[in-house]
């Protein structure tokens, strides 16, 4: 195809501007076409559901069953507070029929991306499922909301109900199947909630103090009657200093705490410094084990499921503090 006669009359510098404008237009058209998912992109006609964290992914998998293709962006050992979306993540999000994320500022660095996506496709924050009167604020941060709602299993039942409702909204054809899956999963979570309380009751009351790297277990403590202390705040984006370490050391020595706990998604150096500080004051405190806080275990293991993760945490805590 030759150059149209009216374009041939233009000067070379004008042609460059026109070519640039055409290139920009093509980019814009490609971007617009990529905003919407299509049935051709969804494997086997299933809903393509993307979740940010493994805990949410577990709900989607249990409720959606064979009717969804479920993908999680953040795997084992990943800290969602500090996580930055990769190019692959952006492709998955663009491809998704719907997106589920925690909200409550858990996915700190992804917040802007998720907000923009909410204007293009169904994007659901799990935090909406939690009654406001049950949201927890740390004592030292009364204006902040603790995002770690999954550590109260009774609240995670509400999160599951929310996911089932949203899946039904976008796929009413399988409403009955989603309702049946929700009933089954809710029963399993109810049993887990009761089991957790019974296990924590095995710890002597004076020893029911859970000390971790960051303050992720506030909902757990409130739900099951155990005092919780974290070296860092509710977000790992917050920093700690020598004063924080010294105050925690004094607390451990005064209360004669037997064990502290590291977390699978956070470096261990912080609590090792606390352990060393206690030793200098002639109090030996053990590392009671590693807890799953902001991420679950490896896929294909018990700890790679929400129920298995909670059971592993509780077993570790009770064994160390009994």
DSSP collapsed to 3 states, the chain: CCCCHHHHCCCHHHHHHHHHHHHHHHHHHHHHHCCCCCHHHCHHHCEEEEECCHHHHHHHHHHHHHHEEEEECCCCCCCCCCCCCCHHHHHHHHHCCEEEECCCCCCHHHHHHHHHHCCCCCEEEHHHHCCHHHCCCCCCCCCCCCCCHHHCHHHHHHHHHHHHHHHHHHCHHHHHHHHHHHHHHHHHHHHHHHHHHHHHCCCCHHHCEEEEEECCCHHHHHHHCCEEEEEECCCCCCCCCHHHHHHHHHHHHHHCCCEEEEECCCCCHHHHHHHHHHHHCCCCCEEEEEECCCCCCCCCCHHHCHHHHHHHHHHHHHHHHC
Instruction: Judge whether residue 1 has pLDDT over 50.
Output: no
pLDDT in the model for residue 109: 86
pLDDT at 69 over 50: yes
Amino acid 29: pLDDT: 38
**pLDDT exceeds 80 at position 9:** no
pLDDT at 135 over 60: yes
Q: Which of 2-16, 84-98, 258-272 has the lowest mean pLDDT?
A: 2-16
Q: Which CATH number fits domain 198-321: 3.40.720.10, 3.40.50.300, 3.30.70.1170, 3.40.50.1980?
A: 3.40.50.1980
Report, as an integer, the average pLDDT of 292-320.
97
pLDDT over 60 at 297, yes or no: yes
Greatest CA separation found in the chain? 91
Say whether pLDDT at 301 is over 70.
yes
Average pLDDT over residues 104-122: 94
d(CA 16, CA 135): 58
Q: Hey, what are 187's tokens?
A: 């029963």
Measured CA distances, 95 to 38, 62, 111, 186 (Å)? 8, 21, 18, 29
**Of 43-57, 140-154, 200-214, 224-238, minimum mean pLDDT range:** 224-238
Burial of residue 25 (CB within 10 Å: 0-12, 13-18, 19+) is exposed
Rounded to whole angstroms, the Cα distance separating 112 from 93 reads 13
pLDDT score for 42 = 57
Q: CATH top-level class for 39-190?
A: alpha beta
- pLDDT for the residue 32: 43
| pLDDT in the model for residue 22 | 44
Q: What percent of the chain has pLDDT over 90?
A: 71
Sheet containing 47-51, strands listed edge to edge, beginning at the edge strand earlier in sequence: 68-72, 47-51, 98-101, 123-125
Residue 234 confidence (pLDDT): 62
Contact predicate 262/291, CB 8 Å: yes
Phi, psi of 93 (to 5 degrees): -65, -40
Of the candidates 159, 151, 47, 142, the residue with the CA atom closest to the CA atom of residue 103: 159
Residue 238, pLDDT score: 52
Position 158 scores a pLDDT of 98
Average confidence score pLDDT of the chain: 87
Residue 297 has φ and ψ, to the nearest 5°, of -80, -170
Res. 140 pLDDT band, cuts 50 70 90: confident
What is the torsional sign of CA 287, 289, 293, 295? Answer: positive
Per-residue pLDDT averaged across 62-91, rounded?
A: 95
Q: What band does 23 get if pLDDT is binned at 50, 70 and 90?
A: very low
Span 275-302, average pLDDT: 95
- Quote the CA–CA distance of 125 and 19 in Å, as a whole number: 43
> CATH 3.40.50.1980 spans which residues of the chain?
39-190, 198-321
Worst-scoring range by mean pLDDT, 61-75, 101-115, 173-187?
A: 101-115
């Amino acid at each position: 195809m030759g150059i149209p006669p009216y374009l041939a009359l233009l000067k070379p510098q004008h042609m460059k501007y026109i070519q640039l404008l055409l290139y920009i237009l093509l980019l814009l058209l490609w971007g617009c076409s990529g905003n919407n998912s299509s049935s051709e992109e969804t494997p086997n006609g299933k809903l393509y559901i993307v979740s940010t964290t493994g805990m949410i992914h577990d709900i989607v998998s249990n409720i959606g069953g064979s009717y969804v293709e479920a993908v999680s962006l953040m795997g084992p050992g990943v800290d969602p507070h500090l996580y930055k979306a990769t190019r692959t993540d952006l492709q998955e999000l663009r491809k998704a029929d719907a997106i589920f994320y925690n909200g409550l500022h858990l996915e700190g660095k992804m917040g802007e991306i998720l907000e923009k996506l909410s204007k293009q496709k169904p994007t659901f924050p799990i935090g909406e499922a939690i009654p406001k009167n049950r949201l927890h604020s740390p004592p030292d941060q009364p204006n902040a909301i603790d995002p770690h709602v999954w550590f109260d299993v009774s609240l995670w039942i509400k999160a599951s109900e929310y996911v089932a409702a949203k899946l039904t909204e976008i796929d009413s054809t399988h409403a009955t199947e989603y309702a049946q899956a929700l009933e089954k999963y809710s029963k399993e979570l109810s049993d887990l909630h009761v089991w957790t309380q019974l296990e924590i009751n095995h710890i002597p009351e004076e020893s029911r103090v859970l000390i971790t790297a960051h303050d992720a277990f506030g909902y757990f403590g409130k739900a099951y009657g155990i005092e919780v202390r974290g070296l860092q705040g509710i977000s790992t984006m917050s920093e700690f200093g020598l004063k924080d370490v010294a105050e925690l050391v004094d607390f451990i020595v005064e209360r004669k705490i037997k064990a502290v706990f590291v977390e699978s998604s956070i470096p261990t150096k912080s609590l090792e410094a606390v352990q060393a500080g206690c030793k200098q004051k002639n109090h030996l405190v053990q590392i009671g084990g590693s807890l799953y806080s902001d991420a679950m275990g490896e896929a294909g293991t018990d700890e790679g499921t929400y129920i298995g993760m909670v059971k592993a945490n509780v077993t570790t805590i009770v064994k160390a503090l009994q």
